[in-house]
Structure formats: structure tokens, C-alpha cells
Amino acid sequence: MSTPVSPASPPLAPTALAAGTAPRRRLLRTAALVALYPLYPLTGPASAQPQQGQAVVWPDVTLLDDTRWGSAQAQGKHVIVVFWSTTCPFCLRHNAHIEKLRRAATGRALAIITVARDKDPATVKAYLARHGYGFQVTMAQDAMAAALSTRKVIPLTITVDRQGRLGQVIPGEMFEDDVMEWLRLG
């Protein structure tokens, strides 16, 4: 129900109208963005997203120890790839499970390579040394993401089977028991 305006009432000045509605508009816009945030895609364009079962075209990347890693290192092995960051507390716990898997998988047909989503190699090397991690790390995040998954979630764990086909893409931290299940693959 609206309040009648008498013809004698002067019209509101545009600045008074704008001043009263601007905070409300900002509030409504913010509420709409917050409501839509879960729908914001965490991936790149749909056409660029590799699909489960698709053959992986491994990029040739340089590891932090200056060795190369590519299709030759993946051939005939199940490969576990983990995207992570030094600033992610979930990644810290997840990486501890990946390190345990790496140690237990010695001599098996299971390869583990991780992708640091950091910018400074020195920071990543210090992180690895501080936590006693010995898994292979590359900083070639764009090339690896294009080959495996363009999702930006970290940690992000990806499996590739012995035939080189993309398997699972698992967002988020995993339980140690679930990570250690991959020993049966190798």
C-alpha cells in the first residue's frame, strides 16, 4: 500500500532519491552475488575441461629438481596427480597422506606427481623441506591443468589409469585410508 502524495508536496530531488536507494541497491546486489556464488563455475570453459575416460596428453614439464617429467614417466603406470598450495591448510594434511603413499608405493607401478599452485619455487622448496616431503613437484600449473582438469579447487587429486585415461577428479582433502587404497593399483 502506498502513501498518497498530495499535489502540493514538492517532488524529491534526484540526489535525495539516489542517496536513499544507493545503500539498498548495494545491499541487494551483494545479497544476489552471495546467493549465486555456489553457481560460480570453478572450472574453465566446458569445452576445455578434460573428460573422464579421455586419453591424457601429458605435457613435458620441469620438476623443482630440474628433471623432466612427461609421458615416458607415466607410461604403463597408474598416476596420481595432486594440485596444492603452500598456504592451504587442507593441502598440508592431504600432502602428508600423499607422502605416506609415495613411501609405501616404492617399486610399484604407481607414479605420483604434484603441482604447486604457488609462484615462488623457493617457497615451495622450503615447504617441502620443512615437512619432509619427497614427492615430485612441478610448478607448471597451466600445462598440467590443461591436460587434466581446469578446476581451481585445492587440493585437487586426479587419477590416470595405466592406459593413460583420465580417471577420477577428486576435489578437496581426502582421508588417509582413501589415499592409501591407491596402493592396490600399483
Annotate the chain with three-state secondary structure.
Answer: CCCCCCCCCCCCCHHHHHHHHHHHHHHHHHHHHHHHHHHCCCCCCHHHCCCCCCECCCCCEEECCCCEECHHHHCCCEEEEEEECCCCHHHHHHHHHHHHHHHHCCCCCEEEEEEECCCCHHHHHHHHHHHCCCCEEECCHHHHHHHHCCCCCCCEEEEECCCCEEEEEEECCCCHHHHHHHHHHC
In terms of domains, do 129 and 162 share one? yes
Residue 151 has a pLDDT of 94
In a domain, 161, yes or no: yes
Total domains, the chain: 2
Same domain, 76 and 158: yes
CATH of the domain at 92: 3.40.30.10
Closest to 81 measured CA to CA, from 69, 89, 68: 69
Q: How far is CA 2 from the centre of its chain?
A: 51
Predicted confidence (pLDDT) per residue in 62-99, tens digit: 999 999 999 999 999 999 999 999 999 999 999 999 99
pLDDT of residue 184: 87
Same-domain pairing of 96 and 159: yes
Does 25 share its domain with 66?
no
pLDDT of residue 37: 41
Q: What is the mean pLDDT of each run of 10 residues along the chain (186 residues)?
A: 48 47 52 43 55 94 97 96 98 98 95 97 98 98 96 96 96 96 86
Pairing mode of beta strands 78-84, 110-116: parallel
Please give the pLDDT value at position 25. Answer: 54
pLDDT given at position 13:
47
Q: Are residues 93 and 34 in the same domain?
A: no
Q: Is residue 64, in this structure, part of any structural domain at all?
A: yes
CB contact at 8 A, 78 and 159: yes
pLDDT for 185 = 82
pLDDT at 18: 47
The reported pLDDT for the residue numbered 50 is: 86
Residues 95 and 151 in one domain: yes
Domain assignment of residue 4, yes or no = no
96 and 33 both lie in a single domain: no
Q: Is 5 within the bounds of a domain? A: no
Q: Is there a domain that residue 7 lies in?
A: no
pLDDT score recorded for residue 6 = 46
Q: What is the pLDDT, as a whole number, of residue 24? A: 56
| Residues 57 and 125 both lie in one domain | yes
Domain of residue 139 covers 46-185
Q: In the prediction, which pLDDT does 182 show?
A: 92
Whether the bond between 155 and the residue before it is cis, its omega within 30 degrees of 0, is: yes
Are both 131 and 66 inside the same structural domain? yes
Bridge partners, residue 11, by sequence? none
